[in-house]
Structure 1
Amino acid sequence: MDEINLLWHQLTDSETIIRSGLMVITLIVFAENGLFFAFFLPGDYLLFLTGVFGGTGVLKEPLSSLLLSIFLAAVIGSFVGYLVGRFFGKSLMNRPDGWFFKKKHLESTREFFDKYGFMALVISRFLPIVRTFTPILAGISHLSWYKFILLNLVGGALWVGILVTAGFYLGQNFPGIINYVQYIILFFLAVTTFTVVKGYLKLRK
């Protein structure tokens, strides 16, 4: 049990992930952006804190390398999710609920997709859980390859560009911010919780 708790902490603790290096960061981003069983992994605040750690010099890679690596991980991750939905959508829809899969996540994403249409692929980048399931649902709906690839690139560029760049320049100009990592995480969690609860209440209504 202790080993499981330790593994869970390492997978969900952004600071631990970032200090492990860019390779681990990109793997987490890849998984969280399209693998249905990885929806619980950190997303928004992982990107922002990666920028902060890059700006303060904890991560040695230049901003361009951070942006390119994370962008590719996000885009490829979503594309894998799209392929899973397109070719295995029926079996996924018939899959019983388990520890890492809940049909309610897919259904709430469908509501989001119906509301925003194709732009859901861009907007969902900034919403946890929905971000993971939107490309899968796009695949299930057989959204054209051209539209998916275009919106995937646009959404990935905006998501990674805004969060990583903002964190980088904040860390560069205010290096002391690295001492307040826990407050940054709490802020993002508060925003995330508010967004998810608001969407849940709308869905119930």
Structure 2
Amino acid sequence: MENFDWKQLINPEFYISMEIGGVSIGLFVVLFIVFAETGLFAGFFLPGDSLLFLAGIYSRELIENITYIESDFGNVALLSTLVALSGIVGNSVGYWFGAKSGWYLYKKEDSFWWKKKYLEQSRVFFEKYGGKAIIIARFMPILRTFAPIIAGIVQMDKKRFMFYNILSSVIWAFGLIMAGHYLYGFFLSEFDIDLKKHIEIIIIIIVLITTVPVVVKFIKGNKEETPKEDI
């Protein structure tokens, strides 16, 4: 750990290549991060989309942590399934946390940082767009951490939540992992470009794709809420 750099904590490749005593634990670290991003309130700072994309590129190395599968598709499918399951469990824990802490938040007095009306607005939002909100949040940093918690707080129907929880986890895991795996093979065979040598660029592109829509939406929301001055 002498050469440890705190910047590595936001680098997905750091987690994938992690070892203990010469034994690779990359797969277990990836699964824990996926769980922590939604199951633990403090998991919002961890890499998500870029981690899964890179996991697809390193799918064989990751799966070899637990077994050997000769089929290339088998490696990707197994990895995607494990990640999806981890995401489902994480979201479920987030929902449970929100459901259990909701009573406290409803009783909490309004302050500069907390307005009870936001909780009510969230409840209305999830009643109207609950399924869509859960699916979209999967692909948005920070939002995927808080979406299941808010769903629990506003008492979103459990069966409805679990349906969209499973659906969003499967789409997210299989979509990003398979995209990383097969795009890596495509660029290597068609253009002789090894994506493993361009990890930083890939991470920057994915971060921009996932965060720009959130920033734009936030800016638009603030402009809409700003009262116009009387003329």
TM-score bucket (shorter structure): 0.7 to 0.9
Is residue 201 of structure 2 the alignment partner of residue 203 of structure 1? no
| Partner SS for 2:39 | coil
CA distance in 1: counterparts of 2:90 and 2:166, whole angstroms: 12
Counterparts of 1:26-65 in structure 2, within 5 Å, are 26-54=31-59, 57-61=60-64, 62-65=75-78
SS in 2 for 1:47: helix
Output aligned runs, 1:111-150, within 5 Å: 113=126, 116-150=129-163
Letter of the 2:166 partner, please give it: L
Query: Which structure 2 residues correspond to residues 89-100 of structure 1 after superposition, within 5 A?
Result: 89-91=102-104, 94=108
CA drift of 1:198 comes to 0.9
What is the CA–CA distance in structure 2 between the aligned matches of 1:201 and 1:164, rounded to whole Å?
A: 31
Matched, 1:158 2:171: yes
CA contact (8 A) 2:98 2:153 kept: yes
Higher relative contact order (CA 8 A, sep 6+): 1
> Which region of structure 1 is more displaced relative to structure 2, 186-195 or 130-139?
186-195
Q: 1:95–1:185: structure 2 CA closer, same or farther, 3 Å change rule?
A: farther
Larger radius of gyration: 2
CA displacement at 1:127 relative to structure 2: 1.1
Indicate conservation of the 8 Å contact 1:124/1:134, yes or no. yes
Letter in 1 for 2:11: D
Q: Distance in 1 between matches of 2:164 and 2:95?
A: 12
Structure 1 residue 184 and structure 2 residue 202: aligned? yes
**1:12 corresponds to which of 2, 10, 13:** 10
Which of residues 28, 35, 46 is equivalent to 1:23?
A: 28
C-alpha displacement of 1:44:
0.8
Determine the C-alpha separation between the residues in 1 that align with 2:109 and 2:16.
34
Contact kept, 8 Å, 1:34 with 1:133, in 2: the verdict is: no
The CA deviation at 1:92 is 5.4
Q: Which amino acid aligns with 1:83?
A: W
Partner in structure 2 of residue 169 of structure 1: 182
Structure 1 gaps of 5+ residues are: none
Higher share in helix: 1
How far residue 177 of structure 1 moved from its aligned partner, in angstroms, is 1.0
Structure 1 Cα separation of the partners of residues 49 and 214 of structure 2: 14
Render the CA deviation track for 1:35-80: whole Å, top value 9, x for unaligned. Answer: 22111111111111110122xx543441122111111111100000
CA distance in 2: counterparts of 1:123 and 1:10, whole angstroms: 27
Q: 1:192 and 1:96, CA in 2 relative to 1: closer, same or farther beyond 3 A?
A: farther
Percent identity reads 39
Checking the alignment, whether the CA contact within 8 Å between 1:34 and 1:78 is kept in structure 2 is yes
Deviation of the 1:119 alpha carbon: 1.9
Give the TM-score taking structure 2 as reference length: 0.74
